[in-house]
Amino acid sequence: MSTNLEPEVMVTVTPVAAVEVKRFMDAEGVSPDVGGLRVSVQPGGCSGFKYGLLIEDAAAEDDVIVQHEGFRMFVDPFSAQYINQVVIDYVSSMQGSGFTFTNPNATGGCGCGSSFSA
């Protein structure tokens, strides 16, 4: 029996970010039926943890799979504890453009927007 849907992880992707994810998946030739967006947390960054996003061809065996309209997100068990309730957005500004993360569970952060402490 597969446990890929447990534990439940809620990740919100804004409409603007979803368009960018789909664009990146198309550019890499990744099918939304099999592949998806890996959302991860890794030790590092200026606050202790950093977020990672990567387009992948398929989920790993132990990934939590989060369905989103038009694509799937893959979250490894370590990252799942930090990713729950995160909002992923895509912002364009004079300084550049990129994905941003809002994490209500973070106890601290820094100016880069992609690093946090928990």
For residue range 36-52, list pLDDT tens digits in order.
Answer: 999 998 887 666 788 89
- Average pLDDT score, the chain: 83
- Domain tally for the chain? 1
Q: Is residue 54 part of a domain?
A: yes
Range of the structural domain that residue 111 is part of:
11-117
3-state secondary structure the chain: CCCCCCCCCCEEECHHHHHHHHHHHHHCCCCCCCCEEEEEEEEECCCEEEEEEEEECCCCCCCEEEEECCEEEEECHHHHHHHCCEEEEEEEECCEEEEEEECCCCCEECCCCCEEEC
What's the pLDDT tens digit per position in 102-116?
A: 888 766 555 544 444
Q: Is residue 3 part of a domain?
A: no
Q: Is residue 4 part of a domain?
A: no
At 80, list the tokens. Answer: 């799942």
Place of tokens 């439940």: 8
Q: Is residue 5 part of a domain?
A: no
Q: Is residue 69 part of a domain?
A: yes
Q: Is residue 2 part of a domain?
A: no
Q: Supply the CATH number for residue 27's domain.
A: 2.60.300.12
Q: Is residue 15 part of a domain?
A: yes
pTM: 0.80
Distance (Å, whole) CA 19 – CA 84:
21
